[in-house]
Amino acid sequence: MGYIGNKPTSTPLTSSDLEYSIISTAKLQNNAITNPKVSDDAIGVDELSATGTASSSTFLRGDNAWASASADADDYFATSGLSSKDLGIGLHVKSADSGASVANEADELVVEGSGDAGISILSGTGSTGGINFGDSGDNDIGRLVYNQSDNSMRFITNASERMRILSEGTQLNNGGGGTNSKSYWVMKLRQSTDDSATNYMMAFANASDSTMGSIQTNGTSSTSYNTSSDYRLKENETSITDGIERLKQLKPYKFNFKTDADKTVDGFFAHEVSSIVPEAISGEKDAMIPEVLYTADDELPEGKNIGDVKKATKINPQQIDQAKLVPLLTSALQEAITKIETLETEMTALKARVTTLEE
């Protein structure tokens, strides 16, 4: 048997069995020497032909050069300081330079590009994808969760769901069982800067984005609840001439709501108003929300099966906007004032006649 270089003194071959530069890369076929043919530590770091300096703080790059982790890895890690079995201080995924700097309080994971940049969380059909926020006391006290089963986005704070955006865009506050203390608001809208200016706190628009109503503050102490009333939006106007007649048909009551037995209030029954001022009433008398059953698309709670009741039937209550009674009340009052003024005129004339007769 012939040998290249020195006669082997051990099995498998070690670096001492090969003369320097006898075998070049070009003279070896791919996979000619495999891992099982080279023993551990057969070739030491000092025997590698690479540029740069090998040390505990450098790594061997693909271009056969020893590189410094603190300098050359900064494009991939948010800051230097790689440690054993650790990504270091932060991971920086960078496709191009955006020109922006990283905020110190959010440098553990950075995704950067010169154009659009983003992160995708892909989960299985009917499953959830989310981000958890926690500390040493609770690893998921805050959560942002997207539920693929119903395409809803859920926001959890203090371990309770506080807001949910449904697939059709409906927003629920505390709809998932979260509760607020009576000393806190479910929603608070606050002016941003100028306390002296009138501010739109909320606007309501139709599908063509024309404003139909708003909630405004005057900047100091009062709030206005507005609905569209511009004359340019209206036509076919006529005077209300039956205000008193219709007003007499309204039946105001004192009553309490069943859920608040100790509190008596003034008001109306919606269905009794609907024929008198129909625009003041929403909904239908005796309407119900049908029950909802679990389907194959639902995530079934323990003990529940497809076809079981998910949400029981319940009242779909009629509602009243009592502000829409104001035109009728105004008309009735004007008619009453007219009658009173007529009576006053007649009474004045009658008194004058009586005085004349007494003389």
Q: What is the pLDDT of residues 60-117, one digit of tens each?
A: 777 778 877 554 444 444 444 333 334 446 788 888 888 888 888 888 888 889 999 9
Residue 175 predicted with pLDDT over 70: no
Alpha-carbon span 74 to 104, nearest angstrom: 15
In the chain, the DSSP E strands lie at 58-60, 66-68, 91-94, 109-112, 128-133, 142-147, 152-157, 160-165, 171-173, 199-205, 211-217, 223-227, 253-255, 265-267, 281-282, 288-289, 292-293, 309-311, 314-315, 319-320
Residue 153 predicted with pLDDT over 70: yes
Alpha-carbon span 256 to 254, nearest angstrom: 7
Q: Which of 19-23, 67-71, 155-159, 333-337 has the highest mean pLDDT?
A: 333-337
List the domain boundaries for the chain. 120-184, 189-237
Alpha-carbon span 343 to 145, nearest angstrom: 71
In terms of pLDDT, which residue wins out, 97 or 144? 144
Largest CA distance in the chain: 161
For residues 249-260, average pLDDT: 96
DSSP secondary structure code for residue 77 in this structure: B
Residue-wise pLDDT tens digits, 177-219:
544 555 567 788 887 777 777 888 899 999 999 999 999 988 7
Residue 30 predicted with pLDDT over 80: no
In terms of pLDDT, which residue wins out, 349 or 59? 349
Q: What is the pLDDT of residue 327?
A: 96
Instruction: Say whether pTM exceeds 0.75.
Output: no
